Amino acid sequence: QVQLAESGGGSVQSGGSLRLSCVVFGYTGSSYCQAWFRQAPGKEREIVAAIDSHGTTDMADSVKGRFTISQDNAKKMVYLQMNGLKPEDTAMYYCAAQKTVQYSGTCLGLMFYGNWGQGTQVTVSS
């Protein structure tokens, strides 16, 4: 059973930085997508960034140039470095993972992620 656990959320002022971490337990398989999603109150959940098993990354337009996703396979960790934070980045952030089989699309476009963490809150004040 795959389990994910996020950490690193908190409260910062506009323009500040945070790094979110996600540890992935119990995952097996050589081909996968890992991603960060966020959901603000009253809004739909949206994907923020994704990375595949080859290390290819993809970022949502709303965070390009400010956020970076990375992974450390030896430590089974996925990170989201967030710089230049804005109040509109305030949300609960979730780490997600999904094994892929013969998938030729991007992880940002993957329609189903079956494994989720509990979320970590990010609050940006103006």
pLDDT, averaged per 10 consecutive residues of the chain (126 residues), comes to 94 98 85 96 96 95 97 93 98 96 92 96 97
pLDDT the model gives residue 114 = 95
* Two tokens, residue 66: 């400010």
pLDDT the model gives residue 74 = 87
Residue whose C-alpha is closest to residue 57's, from 24, 81, 33: 33
Q: 72, exposed or middle or buried, with CB in 10 Å at 0-12, 13-18, 19+?
A: exposed
Separation CA 100–CA 60 (nearest Å):
20
pLDDT the model gives residue 4 = 95
